[in-house]
Amino acid sequence: FVVYWATGQQLVHHANPYDADAMMRIERGAGLPAGYGVLFMRNPPWALPLALPLGWMGVRAGALLWSLVLLGCLWGSVRMVWQMHGRPGRLLNFLALSFAPALVCLIVGQTSLFALLGLVLFLRLNGRRPFAAGMALWLCALKPHLFLAFGVVLVAWVVVSRGYRVLLGAASTLMASSAAAWWIDPTAWADYAH
């Protein structure tokens, strides 16, 4: 979490979120142990609007808000999968909510739970609202390395089924968030590449 919070701090002060010295000072000041080197938000710059609000709050308030949002992502994802599968026994909900990798993501503040929500929203919306399903893929794009194989299959499926509204939804959301990232920090893409 402290990486996302430090990124937000840098963005709010119109500073480079990829500046090693500044990030190290902020992260150490927030309590990151000295055994860790400098940490950066490795998500693509289109994720910067997600970290920006954390810059307007202290580390404890930010951690609480971040944890609640991640918990909401996990709970919402489990709830939607439960509904999509005909609402089987509630014990399955508890098993899904206590899935160890999901709990680890929750405890350490990983954005993988956003990606999980994006994938579940895509599956839920795809049949009825393909544009909105494509927009949900933005959450998956926060962790693009996790979805490379999925992306290749998705593009092939879109071409074969002519479901171009899914790609239009995904592309428009990525362009909007990239534009927002550029507005927040015009050098973000160059700094990220460096």
User: What is the residue-level pLDDT of the chain in tens, covering all 194 positions?
Assistant: 889 999 999 999 999 999 988 998 998 888 888 888 888 888 899 999 999 999 999 999 999 999 999 999 999 998 898 888 787 777 777 777 778 888 888 888 888 999 999 999 999 999 899 999 999 999 999 998 888 888 888 889 888 988 889 999 999 999 999 999 999 999 999 999 88
pTM: 0.85
User: Closest Cα partner for 8 from 49, 43, 38?
Assistant: 49
Distance (Å) of CA 171 to CA 11, 150, 167, 179 = 25, 16, 6, 12
Query: Are 114 and 146 spatial neighbours (Cβ–Cβ below 8 Å)?
Result: no
